[in-house]
Structure 1
Amino acid sequence: LGVNFTKRKAWNEVVAILISSILFVGLHARYEYLSSFICLFLFSFVVGYARLSSNSLCLPIALHAFSIAVGVGFSLLLI
């Protein structure tokens, strides 16, 4: 997945994020609802764009940690 970012001079940056997002969603194929795939794709695209725009992994890691915290928070509300 990181290869798409290392060759971004030859590729359009948006295409690299799209391909990485599609691969990410494909690797998380255990979900059965289309809405889950759409949310995963959008999240992956946002994280990819954050990586590209910040030129660092700190922002994508923070976004991922925040999404996990939100998920845990919602699951605790359901208990």
Structure 2
Amino acid sequence: LGDASDISDDEVKKFADAQAKVEEVKGEYQSQVQAASEDPEKAMEVQREAQQEMVKAVKDTGLDVRKYNQIAQLAQYDTDLRERIQEKM
């Protein structure tokens, strides 16, 4: 997993930006997924689309998805890192 101290302020900033965008995408697609709940195939398609949008949102900030996920995981256990992320939001 690595160590939160390996994560630069720049990466924390990018993560905060990416997370905000990912949440936005989730919000946008949530109603579409619910609307498609009668139609499992459509729901899957909408979720795939949402996934791609989230990946794009992360990449647009300059982070790769692996790094994004790593920071997200570390933040679950590391209060200092969480605080650093909060400061950038």
TM bracket, shorter-chain basis: 0.3 to 0.5
With normalisation by structure 1, the TM-score equals: 0.38
With normalisation by structure 2, the TM-score equals: 0.35
Larger Rg: 2
Larger RCO (CA within 8 A; separation ≥ 6): 2
